[in-house]
């Protein structure tokens, strides 16, 4: 059974977001990494790129498939987790510790539209 961290919010496309004031870390959920299998490549658009909620900001590729990454809230990419360039499998080892991008959230009100643990679990249960 996939682990869901209580300190994060989620979106239906299986990204998680962890807020520290207006700075947020984004990655993929344990459920998503289990579905993808062995991750072999992670990419993201460049730093200082601005994204609206729902826009594709990168992708994750596994031995089974590729999957786009969707921005959970409006924000500006501050940093890509460079460790994932050489070691994308770190996401399989711990998808919550190994975030993909760090952003500056530009519309904190959108936090209200994100899924909590219970809502996200309901989505997983339907799949």
**pLDDT tens digit sequence for 45-102:** 888 999 999 999 999 999 999 999 999 999 999 999 999 999 999 999 999 999 999 9
Name, in order, each residue with C-beta under 8 angstroms of 23's C-beta and a sequence gap of 6 or more.
Answer: 78, 102, 103, 104, 105
Question: Tell me, what CATH number does 39's domain have?
Answer: 2.40.50.100
Q: If you search the block for the tokens 């209200």, which residue do you land on? A: 112
For residue 120, is it within any domain?
A: no
Q: What percent of the chain has pLDDT over 90?
A: 95
Residue 100, pLDDT score: 98
For residue 53, is it within any domain?
A: yes
Range of the domain at 70: 13-107
Residue 34, pLDDT score: 96
For residue 3, is it within any domain?
A: no
Would you give the end-to-end CA distance of the chain in angstroms? 13
Residue 1, pLDDT score: 78
- Other beta carbons within 10 angstroms of residue 29's beta carbon come to 23
Domain count, the chain: 1
Instruction: Show the beta-strand stretches assigned E in the chain.
Output: 9-10, 15-20, 23-28, 39-44, 50-51, 56-62, 66-70, 75-80, 101-105
């Amino acid at each position: 059974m996939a682990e869901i961290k209580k300190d994060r919010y989620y979106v239906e496309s299986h990204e998680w977001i962890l807020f520290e004031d207006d700075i947020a870390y984004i990655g993929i959920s344990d459920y998503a990494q289990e579905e993808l299998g062995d991750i072999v490549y992670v990419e993201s658009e460049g730093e200082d790129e601005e994204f609206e909620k729902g826009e594709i900001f990168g992708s994750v590729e596994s031995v089974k498939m590729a999957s786009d990454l969707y921005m959970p809230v409006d924000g500006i990419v501050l940093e890509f987790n460079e460790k994932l360039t050489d070691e994308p499998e770190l996401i399989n080892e711990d998808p919550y510790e190994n975030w993909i991008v760090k952003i500056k959230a530009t519309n904190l009100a959108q936090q209200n539209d994100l899924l909590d643990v219970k809502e996200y679990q309901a989505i997983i249960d339907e799949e």
